[in-house]
Amino acid sequence: MNQSTPLERVIISGGGTGGHIYPAIAIANEIKKRNPKVSILFVGAQGRMEMTKVPEAGYKIEGLWISGIQRKLTLDNLAFPFKLISSMMKAKRIIKDFKPQVAIGVGGYASGPLLKMATRMNIPTLIQEQNAFAGLTNKWLADKVDAVCVATPNMERFFPKEKIVITGNPVRSDIIGAESKREAGLAHFGLSATKPVLLILGGSLGARTINETMLQDVNKYQQAGVQVLWQIGKFYFSNIQAQLSQMDTAGIHPHEFIREMDLAYASADVVISRAGALSVSELCLVGKPTVFVPSPNVSEDHQTQNALQLVNVNAALMVKDVEAKQSLATVTLDLLADAAKQQALGTAIKAQGRPSATADIVDQVERIIES
């Protein structure tokens, strides 16, 4: 998009999880690529992971005293009205001092007060919704913002139809084209090119059900000649590693966290994954046949909705969390043994990918400023 007004000052707000933070950083990077002299300020929630992850990415961040509402009576809930008022006042000061041309919200606690105040102060505003089931903050903001960028179709039940633009989710640039790196990926992780590779992803912190199920079924995968590249996650790594040390682990490659995700995707024949928005978007781009095990421990069960967007168009398989210990190995081994099914799922999921998502979102940012 040709832009007559260069972006000089941009606020990006939100966070709480990697699923919010990494898309926000991707948007910031695209804005900076187009406008090298731009000043970008992030606004997050005090004590949340964005307060460390954003500075690590090279951007400044301000923190608001804000948190979510719990589903039971807690001191945090009683303090919520005071936190909200405090955050709205601080957001107003930040906007007055920084004078942004646009405010972008990516979901999470902090984006609520910041974007609400920006709309009151007539700052152009845009929100980005990563999930197939919209978050509470974005639903609260939708009526007043100028544009809503979404990852999936059929979001009119949450947002005004005339504001919706389907862009997909921003992902790390190294994920695009990962399929060409298979040889490098196998070498990096010490995997054989003659045996199938199963990649296990439960998020950076880990997924208890997936980890316990994999531990239970290690022998089944070994007997089938399957190599397992297993991201266990920070919370579970020590415990799982201790149990694995008492077992035959031939073909099992455990990792606390995998940083080289492009190489991991390139190595994999089949993937087992939670269904967070970012994981779903990445798997669409790399076109990998996937068995989703949605986490039940998220608001509005949105991971199941994310997975169903693909399952309903025959682009992925799904095993419910409560059924994983009984059926995950069977479903996965059947898929690993069926090359035609892998091909069909890989082709179908790749058709759902949106590799230009980040650029399309920034196009919308430029559009609302111009209009």
* pLDDT tens digits, 12-31: 998 877 678 989 999 999 99
Residue 1: pLDDT band with limits 50, 70, 90: very low
* 101 and 186 fall within a common domain: no
DSSP character at residue 115: H
Q: Are 276 and 316 in contact (CB under 8 A)?
A: no
* 101 and 16 fall within a common domain: yes
Supply the range of the domain harboring residue 309: 174-350
CA distance 98 to 194: 57
* 49 and 164 fall within a common domain: yes
Residue 331: pLDDT band with limits 50, 70, 90: very high
Contact residues for 188 (Cβ-Cβ < 8 A; gap 6+): 260, 263, 267
Is residue 1, in this structure, part of any structural domain at all? no
Is residue 138, in this structure, part of any structural domain at all? yes
Contact residues for 48 (Cβ-Cβ < 8 A; gap 6+): 15, 16, 108, 109, 110
Does 38 carry a binding-site annotation?
A: no
Does 346 carry a binding-site annotation?
A: no
Q: Are 27 and 118 in contact (CB under 8 A)?
A: no
Cβ of 370: how many Cβ atoms within 10 Å? 12
Does 18 carry a binding-site annotation?
A: yes
Does 9 carry a binding-site annotation?
A: no
Does 122 carry a binding-site annotation?
A: no
Q: Are 15 and 44 in contact (CB under 8 A)?
A: yes
Is residue 3, in this structure, part of any structural domain at all? no
Number of domains the chain is built from: 2
User: Which tokens belong to 257?
Assistant: 């966290």
21 vs 12, 48, 53, 121, CA distance in Å?
Answer: 10, 10, 8, 25
Does 192 carry a binding-site annotation?
A: no
Residue 105's pLDDT is 97
* 150 and 208 fall within a common domain: no
* 290 and 204 fall within a common domain: yes
* 213 and 106 fall within a common domain: no
CA distance 266 to 337: 19
Is residue 58, in this structure, part of any structural domain at all? yes
* 298 and 312 fall within a common domain: yes
Contact residues for 306 (Cβ-Cβ < 8 A; gap 6+): 131, 132, 133, 152, 275, 276, 277, 280, 292, 294
* 149 and 60 fall within a common domain: yes
Q: Tell me the CB-side half-sphere exposure of residue 287, using CA atoms within 13 A.
A: 14
Task: Label the pairing between strands 252-255 and 60-64.
Answer: unpaired
Nearest CA to 322 among 298, 293, 290, 280?
A: 293
Does 303 carry a binding-site annotation?
A: yes
Does 282 carry a binding-site annotation?
A: yes
Residues, the chain: 371
Is residue 2, in this structure, part of any structural domain at all? no
Does 280 carry a binding-site annotation?
A: yes
Contact residues for 253 (Cβ-Cβ < 8 A; gap 6+): 189, 190, 191, 227, 228, 229, 230
CA distance 364 to 165: 8
CA distance 44 to 241: 34
CA distance 101 to 121: 11
Nearest CA to 104 among 30, 3, 13?
A: 13
Please provide residue 183's backbone torsions phi and psi, each rounded to the nearest 5 degrees.
Answer: -60, -45
Is residue 4, in this structure, part of any structural domain at all? no
CA distance 66 to 81: 10
pLDDT at 11 over 70: yes
- Does an H or E element contain 197, and which? strand 197-201
| C-alpha R_g of the chain | 21
Burial 139-156 (b: 16+ CB within 10 A, else e): eebbeebbbbbbbbeebe
* 43 and 158 fall within a common domain: yes
CA distance 243 to 303: 29
pLDDT, tens digit, 9 for 90 and up, residues 129-186: 999 999 889 999 999 999 999 999 999 999 999 999 999 999 888 888 888 999 999 9
* 56 and 202 fall within a common domain: no
Average pLDDT over residues 341-365: 97
Residue 299's pLDDT is 76
pLDDT, tens digit, 9 for 90 and up, residues 227-252: 999 999 988 999 999 999 999 999 99
User: Which tokens belong to 68?
Assistant: 């979510």
CA distance 370 to 361: 14
CA distance 29 to 36: 10
* 100 and 179 fall within a common domain: no
pLDDT at 209 over 80: yes
Does 204 carry a binding-site annotation?
A: yes
Residue 73: pLDDT band with limits 50, 70, 90: low
* 364 and 237 fall within a common domain: no
pLDDT at 261 over 60: yes
CATH number at residue 189: 3.40.50.2000
Across the chain, mean pLDDT equals 92
